[in-house]
Structure 1
């Protein structure tokens, strides 16, 4: 597996990140329970989006330069009790740094709007969503 340029954190519009980003964003329930920040590569974002954000009309996508956080990343299988069967997506990047994710880690934030499906938003973002 080649090293990604970026990894991504998806956030529901119900937990919109403040602008400007603080030093530390509030953590999601799933991240707090797990003890790490769940991230996705560009290849994994569509599955994460469709699986966890199917009911959302808008999401915020945080783009994080991988090199900056690599020392705190563990590549792990998703836990079945959290993610369920999502075959073919492989290992996910999990950030183990005391649940800190904020302005020092995040390069940019995108807002995606859902049409009937997430496919149109993904197509519009293809130049921004970089592995």
Structure 2
């Protein structure tokens, strides 16, 4: 299984702020529908943003250490057979690390900070 220092979650600013107000871990509707929280590695993040968030602004990307995710972390094949990090069960807000607000152009163009590597 992959062993990155961080995995990354993408949510809208509205979802992030609502979760923060409730003291909950931010999730998107797809997470609730699928029954697990979707994450991406740094190598997968650009494609995830381009494929699922093109044309959207005010997105929050935040880092989570896999070591802080406990036994709910599973690596499962998804897009193109790549192994993606998924988390089953609750996660506390203490797991949320560094964060950045990003926008993705309609053509998928975006800029990410150097600390996402």
TM-score class, shorter? 0.7 to 0.9
- The verdict on how the C-alpha distance between 1:19 and 1:108 changes in structure 2, with shifts beyond 3 A counting, is farther
Q: CA deviation at 1:92?
A: 0.4
Aligned mates of 1:35, 1:17 — CA distance in 2 = 18
Aligned mates of 1:116, 1:36 — CA distance in 2 = 27
Q: CA deviation at 1:56?
A: 0.5
Structure 2 partner of 1:36: 36
Aligned mates of 1:8, 1:51 — CA distance in 2 = 15
Query: Which 5+ residue runs of structure 2 have no aligned equivalent?
Result: none
Aligned mates of 1:119, 1:55 — CA distance in 2 = 9
**Higher relative contact order (CA closer than 8 Å, sequence separation 6+):** 1
- The verdict on how the C-alpha distance between 1:2 and 1:28 changes in structure 2, with shifts beyond 3 A counting, is closer
The structure carrying a bigger helix percent of its residues is 2
Provide Cα deviations, 1:85-112, integer angstroms capped at 9, x if missing partner.
Answer: x43x6110000123x3x52110122111
RMSD: 2.5
